[in-house]
Amino acid sequence: MTAPSPTVPMDLGVPGPVDIESIPWVISKKAWGTTELKVLRASLRENCYTVRVRWSAGLAVPKHRHFGVVHAFTHSGKWHYKEYDWFATPGSYVAETPETEHSLVVDEDVEATFIVHGGQVDVTEDGGTLGYMDAQRALAGYVALLGAQGLTLPTGIVDG
């Protein structure tokens, strides 16, 4: 006996492809370092966003905890979490387990794409909160950085 095919509501549709090369890079400066980034997709309904980043060797992202799974694809360079003994290199795929805390360290200049489900909280070593990020804040920050460069948000990035 064959399982019935799932029914997909017609009103959801599938948005067309987005030319990621045409999406502008912006520079975000934080106390812990500089990130060159572009938001490829932001779904406010799902609280999920996709961001492509470039980081320079030596950068250390503060310890953080994600509330949902994160998918990371490394395009170039090398990075790791100081809490683990593996390294992500070109072609690596990492699935981060929700609710784990880790501190990202960039060993070689990196370009990577992260698909982030749910928010994340940046934490201090003693468990205090440094900040919070989710799809809405990632999108708002990207729009503000685009505006500072005289640019606007490209179409096709925001999904509900």
| DSSP states of 22-87 | GSPPEEEEETTEEEEEEEEEEETTTTEEEEEEEE-TT-BPPPEEESS-EEEEEEEEEEEETTSS--
Structural domains for the chain: 47-146 (2.60.120.10)
pTM of the model: 0.88
> Which range, of 11-15, 66-70, 94-98, 120-124, averages the lowest pLDDT?
11-15
Give the tens place of pLDDT for each residue, 104-153.
999 999 999 999 999 999 887 787 888 899 999 999 999 999 999 999 99
Give the tens place of pLDDT for each residue, 43-70.
999 999 999 999 999 999 989 999 999 9
CA 21/CA 77 separation, integer angstroms: 19
Helix (H, G, I), strand (E, B) or coil at 147: helix
